[in-house]
Amino acid sequence: MRVVIQRVSEASVTIDKQVKSKIGTGLMILLGIEDADNIEDIDWLCRKIVNMRIFPDDDGVMNKSLLEVNGEVLAVSQFTLHASTKKGNRPSYIQAAKPEIAIPLYEKFVAELQSLIEKEVMTGEFGADMKVSLINDGPVTILLDSKNKQ
């Protein structure tokens, strides 16, 4: 699993000109799933995400976690995170999991995050044409890949 984590002051997902989800201070998470991903990837990523110290303390130092600032989360599935660009100019998405594999893992990822932060995780809509809007606070953007834990 690959994630792009962005610290935001606000973020939203709009589908068919209707706002589906919106958050204030917290994390915008783009999640890419591949066939080899499993519950262990979800557990590792979720624990890493909620405990990562990327929010400012009283001195402005990135020293607080999502849990410590009681932040919100907006999680959106994004298969393009597994794009292969090695050959030609058109990315290949063959490594991205098909919906029958990706949807249950995405739902488990969201459920695990909800359990850890003890509040609802806002989401996009799997497979929909979404317009994602955010104000990246910092900016702070972090990439994590559960296959590269070292």
Tokens 């702070």 belong to 140
d(CA 110, CA 91): 27
Beta strand segments in 16-146, E? 18-23, 26-32, 55-56, 62-64, 72-77, 122-123, 130-145
| 80 in active site | yes
| 109 in active site | no
Q: Which of 80, 85, 123, 150 is catalytic?
A: 80
Cα–Cα–Cα angle for 65, 70, 51, nearest 5°? 25
| 150 in active site | no
Contacts of residue 125, defined as CB under 8 A and 6 or more positions apart, other chains included, come to: 13, 15, 20
Q: Which of 6, 14, 25, 78 is catalytic?
A: 78
Q: Which of 6, 55, 79, 109 is catalytic?
A: 79
The set of catalytic residues is 78-80
